[in-house]
Amino acid sequence: MGRNTLYYIDPVIIRALNKSDLRRKVLFYLDIIYPNHTYLSEMARAIKSDPSNVLGCLRGLGNRYNGNSSLIELGLVEYYEKGHYKYYRLTEYGKDVVKYTREYYRIY
């Protein structure tokens, strides 16, 4: 973790990330390209997943990906629209969660 930096990570977020490898992959990819934004198809291609599954992680999708546990709803990812396209980027809180998560999985 950081140099004398404390992170408060909501237990709901920890649970959501522990339940889904794909959510973690999306977060880690967005961390790698930060501060750049990316679009859905590019993200799916980079992490070798189906775009509909990535969309489910980001925004929620039916029963498989609960909207309350989506990365956007949890405040980890933000997006903006330009024309007919949506671009996604990690939030500052999302960066803190990635740091915590990487450290957590390194320990265990």
**DSSP state string for 30-66:** HHHHTT--EEHHHHHHHTT--HHHHHHHHH-BTTTB-
pTM score of the predicted model: 0.87
Alpha carbons within 13 angstroms on the beta-carbon side of residue 104 total 13
Structural domain range at position 67: 11-107
E strand or H helix at 102, and its extent?
helix 92-107
pLDDT digits (tens, 9 = 90+) for 52-106: 999 999 998 877 677 788 999 999 999 999 999 999 999 999 999 999 888 877 7
Q: Is residue 6 part of a domain?
A: no
Residue 19's domain is classified under what CATH number?
Answer: 1.10.10.10
Q: Is residue 2 part of a domain?
A: no
State how many domains the chain has: 1
> Do residues 101 and 30 touch, judged by C-beta distance below 8 A?
no
pLDDT digits (tens, 9 = 90+) for 18-56: 899 999 999 999 999 999 999 999 999 999 999 999 999
